Structure 1
Amino acid sequence: MAKAVTNHHLQAVLTEAGYAQARAAFARQVNLRGQAHGLALRYDAASVYWWLRGRRPDDPVPQVIAEVLTRRLGRPVGVDELGFTTGGQLAGLGLTFATDLEDTRTTVADLWRQEVARHDVLSTVPFVAAATADAGWRWHFDPRDPDASHRGGRRVTLSDVDALRACQQQFLDLDRRHGGGRFRAFLAEWLHREVEPMLHGSYTDKVGRQLFAAVAELTGQVAFMSYDIGDHGWAQRHFIQSLRLAKAADHAGFGAHILANMSTQAVYLQQPGEAVRLARAAVDGGRGRAHTSVMARLHTAEACAHAIADDARSCTAALRLAEDATGKTSGTDQPAWAGYFTPAHLAGTAIRCLRDLGRTAEALRWADQALDLGEGSVRTRALHTALIASVYATGSAAEPEHAGQLGHDALDLAGRVRSRRVTDRITDLAQRLAAYRGNPVVDGFLRRARDYVSPAPRG
């Protein structure tokens, strides 16, 4: 399946110039114009394909491209119109765990503003592993912010903060029902319009810490939505700023939760060492300060990290701790932002870990619990259904027909969400079932799955 266009600026000007369906001709003109600059260029239609999908040609080629388009259109076309510079301008934004709270306010506001203005290039923003490690270290060991008050525009009260928390629950529900791709831009636009003025308003230390806690949760929601749709560099920046806001709020349980999410992202990106370090930091940070349901979530993140590190003993120990914490959880005092985590989520983690460790029969014992989900958990049901199907498609005792039937169920659910993680689960299942072509159920699933198969699958 072709990758989606991400450089919509370049696409628009190529369309205007009549090159949208003539990429080879456009590449030839760039090569010819390059000769005037003493360049021996060898671009072709494939080069243009990748420019449209986020790659930036080396200097001075963007200027050469601008000259070709200027001559074609009969009007000046600047390099800044081509969409190549945006990713570079965003590359460093949000990677710093700021010492000063004013810098944090400014950075968070800039992230939301860029989400609104330049959402088409966010998938090209790079992921920088060193920044994640530094943020985790700073969250643990930087001193507490002495004062969270601020003097600015409008007066902010605890009632305003309560309203933010109510909105956050609505966005959390939308994300679970529809996936991160449907409402991320809407959430960022609302944060830019409504919440940014509050951050720069006037509030006491008490209100400020509550405000930072609520904004940390909302920023963490943007981060998770970005992770869900595969914009990992952008997700990383919001995770880091959410962690910084949680630090300012003395919101230790939520900060540990964000570290666990960062570990989960490292698992997705196949960075086992980083995943284990972040998960351990999350567990250490939450111990004695986080609700038991949060601790269960932290231990599941640690189990996943140990599984991809091929440490079966540590993985099993973490799963046992997660199960113990889940059994002790009471919903009466559970933080609202942690309400999504249920025994079904624990079961989903157990299935993936045990599958990856080659213990498929044991993994399937968790299958019923993994699907014991509420009506609103559409994305999780899709993820778990595809995951269980992948277990039935694995090993010497595989049941490919059952896997194919579950695969059809997963595809039905996938049509209701916009989530790269769901797409990747279906891709993984399709790859596992490819060895069983000839089975009518499997063949039917594989035909339907073509529209969902992603170019870079993850389990």
Structure 2
Amino acid sequence: MARPVTNAAFEGVLRAAGYGNAHAAFARQLNHAGRNEGAWRYDAASVYWWLRGRRPGEHVQAAMAETLARKLGRSVAVTELGFGVAGSIGTCAYPGSVDGAIDTAEQIWTRLAKHLNQDASAAFDSDKVLEAALGWRYDLPDETVSRNGRQQVAATDVQSLYALTDHFTDLDRRHGSGSPHARSVMTDFLVFQVSPMLRGTYTEAVGRDLMRAAATLSGQLAFMSYDAGEHATAQQHATLGLRLAKAADDRLLGAHLLANLATQAVFLGHAREAARLVEAAIDGAGRAPAGVLARLHATAATAYGQAGERRACQLALTKAVRALDRTGTDPGPRWVGYFSPAHLAGAALRCLSDLELHSEALKHAPDAVNLASKNTRTRALHTALIAVTHARAGETDAACDWALKLRQHAAGIQSARVQQRLRELATTLSSHQPSTQVNAVLHALTATPASL
């Protein structure tokens, strides 16, 4: 059954122009009007979704108004089309086409760069995330992504995007994402460099790689926003990255980005939704390399642990360990190389602690802090987990010792996640019998300079 029309204004002006039952004809004229923007491929299905609430980019609306004005013989204002002003960047619809993904990318990157309609307190929408997961997993692959636009894009241009991604990723891991400066620089780069490339001229092979690079950048910006506590913004960019990964025909990258959304859902307490997300990621990844499977199963374990599903959690941990043992001969894509035994130990620590298996969880503590020097934020997060687990187990002295280490590791890191772990530790310690040591540690945690 067709969904009901929600944009009556757009429907009315289409009918007035004679396109009420000729959506394909309107789409063809629109593609012609936008020929200077690149090879648009809008069709009747695009019109269907516009009538039902999907909002095209401002440049597409301008071309719509031009097309309708030519047919009606009068000027048509963009405001007549019923799309209104762009909504919050926290709107998390999964684009239905490659052109829709490019439009969405341009729209949300531009609005983020201009600081328009930002709402850092907007909520994570688990229903929209699950819709995106279904779209990524079951929508048909894109037949083509090649385009004819204003600038030529070569394979070497795409490779430079990967180098920038590595740079932003390294900054994020070392210092956290709480400072808006790094995200602002990255957004400007997306607006002024990546967006024009997406609207450029490229072959099928270069186009797929460009979509992969753009997906990786969008996913990195999503993770940085998540670390900064801007959860709706993070969800928007992760959803866009998921769609671009679909366009790249890179199921492994898509599964990785979906697992990132599951990680965010776990952090926010949406355990059931997180489990469904990572199950979709594992299913979609198929016969994936061992490194990818290790990361996915570890994420599944954290979701099951928070949901209280002990058997599923321990099974997922076992699968993650077995997969990690095989990474020497089957490492997988370069982006999963970060996932080390220390990261798996941190996941085990988290989920077993959630299951109140504190002694078993703490067996993973030494491995969880055996991290490379560049993983500064992860070391702080894992140290906090160890301290909290000791406190939950009633081992106050050990909790206080690890809390003091945490204060050292967290200094200078700007991360909402680290801040949340500090608060969690302080709350857990406060529930114990007051003592001089506990009071001193609580005072030290309060003074820890890890604020945003």
- Specify if TM > 0.5: yes
Structure 1 residues 280 and 361: CA distance shift in structure 2, 3 A: same
User: Aligned pair 1:320/2:310, yes or no?
Assistant: no
Gaps in structure 2 of 5+ consecutive residues: 1-84
Structure 2 contact 136–243 (Cα < 8 Å) conserved: yes
- Tell me which residue corresponds to 2:416: 420
Letter in 2 for 1:115: L
Deviations, residues 376-425 of structure 1 (Å, cap 9, x unaligned): 00000000001001111112xx2212211211221222222111111111
Letter in 1 for 2:187: A
User: Aligned pair 1:364/2:362, yes or no?
Assistant: yes
Q: Report matched runs for 1:33-432 at 5 Å.
A: 89-91=86-88, 95-118=92-115, 121-182=118-179, 183-288=182-287, 290-330=288-328, 333-395=331-393, 398-432=394-428
Deviations, residues 17-53 of structure 1 (Å, cap 9, x unaligned): xxxxxxxxxxxxxxxxxxxxxxxxxxxxxxxxxxxxx
Letter in 1 for 2:421: R
- Tell me which residue corresponds to 1:44: none
User: Structure 1: how far apart are the matches of 2:413 and 2:183?
Assistant: 13
Deviation of 1:453 after TM superposition, in Å, equals 10
User: Structure 2: how far apart are the matches of 1:349 and 1:265?
Assistant: 14
Structure 1 contact 427–454 (Cα < 8 Å) conserved: no
Structure 1 contact 385–406 (Cα < 8 Å) conserved: yes
Deviation of 1:114 after TM superposition, in Å, equals 1.7
Deviation of 1:451 after TM superposition, in Å, equals 4.5
Letter in 1 for 2:436: P
Structure 1 residues 92 and 381: CA distance shift in structure 2, 3 A: closer
User: Structure 1: how far apart are the matches of 2:330 and 2:174?
Assistant: 24
Please give the secondary structure, in 2, of the residue aligned with 1:185: helix
Say which of 417, 423, 447 aligns to 2:443: 447
User: Structure 2: how far apart are the matches of 1:202 and 1:429?
Assistant: 53
Please give the secondary structure, in 2, of the residue aligned with 1:417: coil
Deviation of 1:349 after TM superposition, in Å, equals 0.6
Structure 1 residues 338 and 119: CA distance shift in structure 2, 3 A: farther
Identity across aligned pairs (percent)?
Answer: 39
Deviation of 1:170 after TM superposition, in Å, equals 1.0
Structure 1 residues 447 and 354: CA distance shift in structure 2, 3 A: same
Structure 2 contact 279–300 (Cα < 8 Å) conserved: yes
TM normalised by structure 1 equals 0.76
User: Structure 2: how far apart are the matches of 1:94 and 1:205?
Assistant: 30
User: Structure 2: how far apart are the matches of 1:256 and 1:189?
Assistant: 27
| Aligned residue-pair number | 365
Structure 1 residues 451 and 257: CA distance shift in structure 2, 3 A: same
Structure 1 residues 332 and 272: CA distance shift in structure 2, 3 A: closer
User: Structure 2: how far apart are the matches of 1:437 and 1:279?
Assistant: 39
User: Structure 1: how far apart are the matches of 2:311 and 2:123?
Assistant: 34
Letter in 1 for 2:195: E
Structure 1 contact 344–371 (Cα < 8 Å) conserved: yes
User: Structure 2: how far apart are the matches of 1:282 and 1:157?
Assistant: 31
Structure 1 contact 347–366 (Cα < 8 Å) conserved: yes
Superposed CA RMSD in Å reads 2.0
- Tell me which residue corresponds to 1:80: none
Structure 1 contact 393–399 (Cα < 8 Å) conserved: yes
Structure 1 contact 386–429 (Cα < 8 Å) conserved: yes
Gaps in structure 1 of 5+ consecutive residues: 1-87
User: Structure 2: how far apart are the matches of 1:357 and 1:93?
Assistant: 32
